[in-house]
């Protein structure tokens, strides 16, 4: 897909180089600026312009970059897009088609798709990215639906975490979304069932997170770790059901909002605060408490708000907590 960016130069950038205005105002990376210079073009008020040329307030810049050969996408999505995008490799097309069918069968959804971004609702048990040992992943589904040769998850969800995340379909959109997230221009909220009752019921966990030297995948709180902040609020507590593996403790539904994006952040912070997630043995929860029987933490990315990287629209999505992740619905005919 071709990329076209427009910028009306603000007074603050009067006299600056065109490339500096593009980088500051649109988040164009050095790599993208180089690609535009080499393979695309830059216009100022309709006339050719060099990246190093100075610009004036009120100038209109138009940066163009043609799509790389074979890097096509289908805004409507669908199997026909995936078949086209797999090109001359029928085996890859067949593999991705089978992955797409399994994604749908497991309850996966694509609530939003255009030619720049995709918002997906990932089922628990699915990887965000493929690995050498396992190719079945959300990015394979998106590549199949769009026909894109490369997709860029802006964030990731752990295999056991279900819910919403955004995937960019080109490098510029990925960079713009990542920058927007760093600047706090967006919302990521999760629902999680935890053991016990959070006290206080509303709070902020502001504790650095680092790798746990004693365990490969595990993270831990540590003064030398990276700054990490999670806000939480108690939604409700259920005393009526003794969830398996919780030793008779009450279970509580908690809403979490991320202010940073560390690996396993909510899981680590919940354990640190004394209310580990149900069904999360890696971080203090009892494996027997996993509602779906697969040792998945009862954690779901329930709300996502993002600014569209091209037109600036605010897009908001919500996804209900799956019954399979709700320990209070066990034994009530709800999976």
Final residue in a domain of this structure, among 65, 87, 115: 65
**CA-based angle 119:125:130, to the nearest 5?**
70
> Which domain range does residue 320 map to?
185-329
Res 68: pLDDT: 56
Alpha helices in 70-203 (DSSP H): 79-85, 90-105, 138-146, 171-182
Ramachandran bin of 209, using left for φ above 0, alpha for ψ from -120 to 50, beta for the remaining angles: beta
Q: What is the pLDDT of residues 84-108, one digit of tens each?
A: 444 557 777 788 889 999 999 999 9
Give domain status of residue 73, yes or no.
Answer: no
Are both 197 and 299 inside the same structural domain?
yes
Q: What is the pLDDT of residues 113-172, one digit of tens each?
A: 998 899 999 999 999 998 888 889 999 999 999 888 789 988 889 999 999 999 999 888
Give domain status of residue 70, yes or no.
Answer: no
**Residue 95: both structure tokens together:** 């593999």
Res 248: pLDDT: 63
Contact 219, 263 (CB under 8 A): yes
Are both 88 and 209 inside the same structural domain?
no
Are both 37 and 8 inside the same structural domain?
yes
Q: 162-168 and 299-307 as β-strands: parallel, antiparallel, unpaired? A: parallel
Are both 89 and 59 inside the same structural domain?
no
Are both 189 and 167 inside the same structural domain?
no
Our count of domains for the chain comes to 3
Instruction: For the chain, give the number of residues.
Output: 335
Average pLDDT over residues 223-235: 96
Q: Helices (H) and strands (E) in the chain — how many of each?
A: 7, 16
Give domain status of residue 177, yes or no.
Answer: no
Give domain status of residue 163, yes or no.
Answer: yes
Give domain status of residue 74, yes or no.
Answer: no
Q: Which helix (H) or strand (E) holds 215?
A: none
Are both 84 and 110 inside the same structural domain?
yes
Average pLDDT over residues 213-236: 92
Are both 200 and 312 inside the same structural domain?
yes
Alpha helices in the chain (DSSP H): 18-26, 30-39, 79-85, 90-105, 138-146, 171-182, 265-272
Give the single-character DSSP code of 66: P
For the CA atoms of the chain, what is the radius of gyration? 23
Give domain status of residue 180, yes or no.
Answer: no
User: What CATH number does residue 12 fall under?
Assistant: 3.10.290.10
Give domain status of residue 71, yes or no.
Answer: no
Are both 304 and 217 inside the same structural domain?
yes
Task: Report the range out of 5-9, 118-122, 215-219 with the highest average pLDDT.
Answer: 118-122
Cα within 13 Å of Cα(219), Cβ side: 21
Of 302 and 325, the structure prediction assigns the larger pLDDT to 302
Angle 90-105/138-146 helices, nearest 10 degrees?
110
Contact 149, 86 (CB under 8 A): no
Residues catalogued as catalytic: 158
**Residue 127: both structure tokens together:** 């990887």
Give the single-character DSSP code of 226: B
Per-residue confidence band for 74, with pLDDT thresholds at 50, 70 and 90: very low
Which range among 42-46, 108-112, 321-325 shows the weakest confidence by mean pLDDT? 321-325
Give domain status of residue 284, yes or no.
Answer: yes
């Amino acid at each position: 897909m071709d990329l076209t960016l427009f910028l009306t130069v603000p007074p603050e950038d009067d006299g600056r180089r065109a490339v500096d205005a593009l980088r500051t105002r649109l988040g164009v990376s050095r790599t993208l600026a180089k690609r535009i210079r080499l393979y695309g073009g830059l216009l100022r008020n309709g006339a050719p312009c060099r990246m190093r040329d100075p610009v004036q307030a009120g100038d209109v810049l138009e940066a163009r970059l043609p799509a790389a050969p074979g890097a096509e996408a289908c805004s409507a999505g669908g199997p026909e897009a995936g078949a086209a995008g797999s090109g001359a490799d029928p085996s890859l097309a067949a593999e991705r088609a089978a992955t797409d069918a399994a994604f749908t069968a497991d309850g996966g959804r694509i609530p939003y798709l255009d030619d720049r971004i995709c918002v997906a609702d990932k089922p628990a048990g699915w990887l965000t990215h493929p690995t050498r040992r396992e190719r079945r992943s959300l990015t394979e589904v998106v590549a199949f639906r769009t026909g894109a040769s490369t997709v860029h998850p802006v964030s990731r969800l752990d295999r056991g975490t279900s819910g919403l995340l955004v995937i960019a379909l080109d490098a510029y959109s990925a960079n713009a979304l990542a920058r927007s997230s760093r600047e706090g221009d967006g919302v990521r909220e999760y629902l999680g069932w935890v053991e016990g009752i959070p006290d206080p019921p509303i709070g902020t966990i502001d504790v650095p997170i680092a790798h746990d030297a004693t365990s490969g995948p595990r993270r831990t709180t540590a003064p030398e770790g990276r700054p990490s902040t999670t806000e939480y609020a108690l939604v409700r507590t259920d005393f009526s059901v003794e969830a398996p593996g919780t030793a008779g403790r009450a279970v509580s539904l908690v809403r979490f909002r991320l202010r940073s994006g560390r690996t396993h952040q909510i899981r680590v912070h919940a354990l640190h605060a004394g209310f580990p997630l149900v069904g999360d043995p890696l971080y203090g929860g009892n494996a027997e408490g996993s509602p779906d029987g697969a040792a998945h933490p009862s954690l779901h990315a329930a709300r996502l708000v993002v600014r569209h990287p091209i037109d600036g629209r605010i897009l908001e999505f919500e996804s209900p907590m799956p019954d399979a992740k709700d320990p209070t619905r066990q034994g009530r005919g709800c999976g």
